[in-house]
Amino acid sequence: MAEIEHKLHEKVGELLEQFVKENSFIARLDSACGGDQYIPLFYAPKANATCLCNVDAMLLKEVNGNKEVVAIIEIEESDITPTNICGKYLTTALSSQYNHEKDGNIVLKPNSIKFIQIVDASSETNDKKSQLINIGDLIRNKLCGCVRSYDIILANNNDLKNKLGTILNEISK
């Protein structure tokens, strides 16, 4: 069976690794992004029945000796339907904990996380791109749970580094 290529995931993973080398953050990456773990989010104490999702990437920062989740990144390379885009946001927003043996249990405080959704829209029509931008606006106007801000990046290889870099620079301030 052929291994699935995740070129956008890999590029985002590389950019996040570069960002953490230059800043005081910790990156957690799933295997598609070049990492070595699942990144599970829960709505209650860790259990199979309380797991809402596994995200593609996460940025953590150590504050007063404790790790805090500051950003969650979801990458869409193929399924860019409104249901998938909105569902990835909502399962994160409804989560209240990240728990993994590398970091222990971290409570996701209300209104504390930047959610970044990166979508491969390079081969999409202008109507589809407009739909994605409109969905981003709708989500931004209905933030809830642990999400304090939402960004959607319509990625192509030429500008991903600049667009993601601008958002990550906001986080590092």
With respect to residue 43, please indicate whether it lies within any of the assigned structural domains. yes
Dist CA 109 CA 145 (whole Å): 8
With respect to residue 164, please indicate whether it lies within any of the assigned structural domains. yes
User: Each residue of 20-34: pLDDT tens digit?
Assistant: 999 999 999 999 999
Strands 147-155 and 113-120, sheet pairing: parallel
Whether the model clears a pTM of 0.85, i.e. scores above it, the answer is: yes
With respect to residue 77, please indicate whether it lies within any of the assigned structural domains. yes
Range of the domain at 96: 7-172
The token pair at 130 is 């407009």
User: Each residue of 72-127: pLDDT tens digit?
Assistant: 999 999 899 999 999 999 999 999 999 999 999 999 999 999 999 999 988 888 99
The token pair at 31 is 């295997």
Letter for the amino acid at 14?
E
- Say which residue the tokens 């971290």 belong to: 106
With respect to residue 1, please indicate whether it lies within any of the assigned structural domains. no
With respect to residue 38, please indicate whether it lies within any of the assigned structural domains. yes
For 119, phi and psi rounded to 5 degrees? -120, 130
Q: At what angle do helices 82-93 and 126-140 cross, to 10 degrees?
A: 20
